[in-house]
Amino acid sequence: EIVLTQSPGTLSLSPGERATLSCRASQSVSSNNLAWYQQKPGLAPRLLIFAASSRATAIPDRFSGSGSGTDFTLTISRLEPEDSAVYYCQQFGSSQYTFGQGTKVEIK
Amino acid sequence: QVQLVHSGAEVKKPGASVKVSCKASGYSFINYHIHWVRQAPGQGLEWMGMINPSDDNTNYARKFLGRVTMTRDTSTGTVYMELSSLTSEDTAVYFCARERPGAINFDYWGQGTLVTVSS
C-alpha cells in the first residue's frame, strides 16, 4: 500500500500570504492518480485538484497543484479567510486508494 | 443537480452490523462508481472500497476485506455499505462519493452518516 505523508501538520498564515502544502508518497505515483481535497468542519470533502495539477470545476485559480513521482505540492497563492480548512491528498495505486493524514491551514 | 443523500445516523452495539445507504440523483446512476470513505472523530479520511453500479463489481480496501459488503439497487439509484463485527473503532462518519470511471478523483460527496458503536 502506498503511504502518503503530508507536511506540515498545521500551517498558520495571514490573509494574502502564500501556503505551500506537501504530500510525499512512499513510492512513485502516477500524476494522473493524485488529487487534493479541502474539508471544512462538519462538511464532506470537496475536490480541489485532480491529476496533480488540474483544478476541479469552480475552484478559484489561487489554488494550484504540482509535482510528480513521489513529491506533490498544493499551493494557495493568496490566502483568503474562507481557505481555513484541512487539506488532504489522495492517490490510487495497486487497485487501492489512500489519503494523506491531512494538513490544517489556519488563518490568523 | 447531482445529489448523494445518506440514510440517518445509527447507533450499534459491538459485534453488530450496520447498513448505510446512499441515494444518487441528478445523473446517470450506472455511469459512475460509488466509493465509501470514513472519518473517525477528529481523524483523517480512510477509503473503504467502491462499487461499479453498472455491473456490481466491487473493490474493497484490504483492511476491510471480509467485513464490508457494498451493493446497489439500480431501480432506485441507491448504493448500500454494510459493515459487520463492529467495534468502537468503527465509530465514524461514513461518506459515499462519486467517481467517473478512470478519473481517480471523487467529484461529489454525500453529507455522511454518523455510525456510533457503543455498548
Per-residue pLDDT of chain B (119 residues; tens, 9 = 90+): 999 999 999 999 999 999 999 999 999 999 999 999 999 999 999 999 999 999 999 999 999 999 999 999 999 999 999 999 999 999 999 999 999 988 899 999 999 999 999 99
pLDDT of res. B48: 98
pLDDT of res. B67: 98
Bridge partners (DSSP) listed for residue B93: B39, B114
- Out of B47, B106, B111, closest to residue A98 by CB: B47
Bridge partners (DSSP) listed for residue A37: A47, A88
Please give the grid coordinates belonging to residue A64.
Answer: 494550484
Mean pLDDT, rounded, for A61-87? 97
CA within 13 Å, CB half, A10: 4
Count chain A–chain B contacts defined by CB atoms under 8 A: 57
- A81-to-A17, A78, B42, B113 alpha-carbon distances in Å: 11, 10, 22, 28
Mean pLDDT, rounded, for A12-19? 97
Inter-chain touch A99–B61, beta carbons under 8 Å: no
Q: Mean of the per-residue pLDDT values for chain A?
A: 97
pLDDT of res. A94: 87
Please give the residue of chain A at the shortest CA–CA distance from B111: A44
Query: Distance (Å) from the C-alpha of residue B100 to the closest C-alpha of chain A?
Result: 12
pLDDT of res. B2: 97
Q: How confident is the model at residue A99 (pLDDT cuts 50, 70, 90)?
A: very high
Chain B contact for A88 (CB, 8 A cutoff) = yes
pLDDT of res. B102: 86
Does residue B109 contact residue B3 with C-beta atoms inside 8 Å?
A: no
- Out of B37, B104, B107, closest to residue A92 by CB: B104
- Out of B35, B37, B59, closest to residue A95 by CB: B59
Mean pLDDT, rounded, for A39-51? 97
DSSP assignment, residue B63?
G
Inter-chain touch A37–B62, beta carbons under 8 Å: no
Please give the grid coordinates belonging to residue A54.
Answer: 488540474
Provide residues of B within 8 Å CB-CB of chain A. 35, 37, 44-47, 59, 61-62, 95, 97, 103-107, 109-112
pLDDT of res. B95: 98
- Out of B45, B46, B103, closest to residue A45 by CB: B45
